[in-house]
Structure 1
Amino acid sequence: MWDSAFSSAGRCSVRPLDERAGHPDVTEHLDLATTSAAHQPELVACLKALGATPAHVGQGEVPWTVLADPEGNEFCVLEPREIYRDTGPIAAVVVDCADPRAMARFWGEAMDWTLHEVTDDQATLRSAKGVGPYLEFLRTPGVQTVPDRVHLDLLPYPGDDKAAEVARLRALGATDLDLGQGDVPWTCLADPEGHEFCVLAPS
């Protein structure tokens, strides 16, 4: 579904998930951007034709549409918003968390991204180059750390040492994570609230 949903301008890697996760509550999801009032229902219809189904997460009457992909992963199709006009098909990766300010501090330093907004309830980051999707943290009372069905992969800059980068992230507050991944070229870590992410080997 996702390969057909995105144009060549967007990149989303999909990998099988082992049985340890089952189908827990979602703490990370994608927001998809639309470019006009007509584009939003067109994209929703296209996604439904690909296998997406309406999802109800207590959203009530909102201008965006909540869907789930064929495996139940929830995502949102947003109404047109000026802030997302140049993000490409993925407007934002949205993370439920207990402390948006703390998460913004960690991820801002981890990725060297620019902080656009921060309050007690939400924080927004984006690449310093002003390209690609936003990373958004929303304060969610009672949020619990569960195995993530969506996670970030970090790629060190060309020429950087991966081991040094992993050590830097640990110093910022990341912890090692054993997911049963075995001998793989990437390193699995968790941020200060337990959200999983991977550090890839530089290309």
Structure 2
Amino acid sequence: MAPRPVHLVVAAEQPARLARFWSDLLGWRLATESPAEAAVQPPPGDGCDLTLLFAPATRPKTGKNRLHLDLSSTSGENQRETVARAVSLGARPIDIGQRDVPWIVLADPEDNEFCVLEPREEYAGSGAIAAIVVDAANPAQLARFWSPLTAWPIAAEEPAVTTLRNPAGRGPALEFLRAKTPKHGKNRLHLDLALALHDDHTAETRRLQAAGAHPVPADQPHVAPTDFTDPENNEFRLLPPL
């Protein structure tokens, strides 16, 4: 079986503070909170299978993130309410060159970019988060790496964006968006994937490498790698079964 996405990990200067922002904005539960790590979990009715994990940052943010969240809305009024709530919690509107578009671009209290989308039919069943968006030089090619990795099929393919959807039909999409954003060190956001119960880590590592992933050497010799980068150098982690 393919690994399943379980966490979106966000590096933060103040993990607990940033977790509280996202918990209040999304209406999700603050499951754990400590100086070292904080976790925010969706309610059962949201449809999202991912926990947001906030971990200590090892370096300051430089440049635009290569991964960001798109938030859904059900109406123009709902979009405006979400933007107003985000700003009241510490977000701010930003200009990243988006010009005249129907979505609103914001930065959270640690300057991580996110968008509040206008109502879109394709996200009607997505819950609070419409999509996890990954900047890509070649969206279609990168999506074809991630699709078999996660067992999420390609749901839509356009010249500028390729979309994967959870086979369950709920929760956020995983979208690869054409962009020329340069990579500045390690990404501040990355995905964790968990192996299925009877999957073999060594066999999965071989499969990943054959598909174009690159293992990040472990600190200790003779230890199987858990950290990888995809074909466009985006980090992700392979966890044991959860």
TM-score by length of 1: 0.89
Equivalent position amino acid for 1:113 in 2: W
In structure 2, which of residues 49, 56, 79 is the aligned counterpart of residue 40 of structure 1?
79
Distance (whole Å) between structure 2 residues aligned to residue 122 and residue 179 of structure 1: 33
Partner of 2:54: 14
Equivalent in the alignment of 1:65: 104
What's the counterpart of residue 97 of structure 1? 136
Q: Kindly tell me: are residues 68 and 180 of structure 1, through their superposed partners in 2, closer, same or farther at Cα, counting changes over 3 Å?
A: farther
1:110 lines up with 2:149 in the alignment: yes
Q: Secondary structure at the match of 1:137?
A: strand
Q: Contact (CA 8 Å) 1:99, 1:120: kept in 2 or not? A: no
Q: Check 1:27–1:191 CA distance in 2 against 1; reply closer, same or farther (3 A cut).
A: same
Q: Distance in 1 between matches of 2:199 and 2:54?
A: 26
Distance 1:165 1:69, change over 3 A: same
- Specify every segment of 5 or more residues in structure 1 that has no aligned partner in the other structure, as ranges: none
Match of 1:2 in 2: 22
Identity %: 44
Q: Which residue in the other structure is 2:116 paired with?
A: 77
Contact 2:216 2:225 in 1 (8 A): no
Structure having the higher strand fraction is: 2
Report deviation, 1:149.
1.4
| Cα RMSD (Å) | 2.3
Query: In the aligned structure 2, how far is the partner of 1:83 from the partner of 1:186?
Result: 37
Structure 2: 5+ residue stretches without partners: 1-20, 29-42
Q: Would you say the 8 A contact 2:187–2:234 is kept in 1?
A: yes
Instruction: Provide the aligned length of Structure 1 versus Structure 2.
Output: 200
Question: 2:69 corresponds to which residue?
Answer: 30
- Over 3 Å counting, the alpha-carbon distance change for 1:186 and 1:74 in structure 2 is farther
2-structure distance, mates of 1:45, 1:179: 44
Given that residues 64 and 113 in structure 2 are in contact (C-alpha distance below 8 angstroms), is that contact kept between their aligned partners in structure 1? no
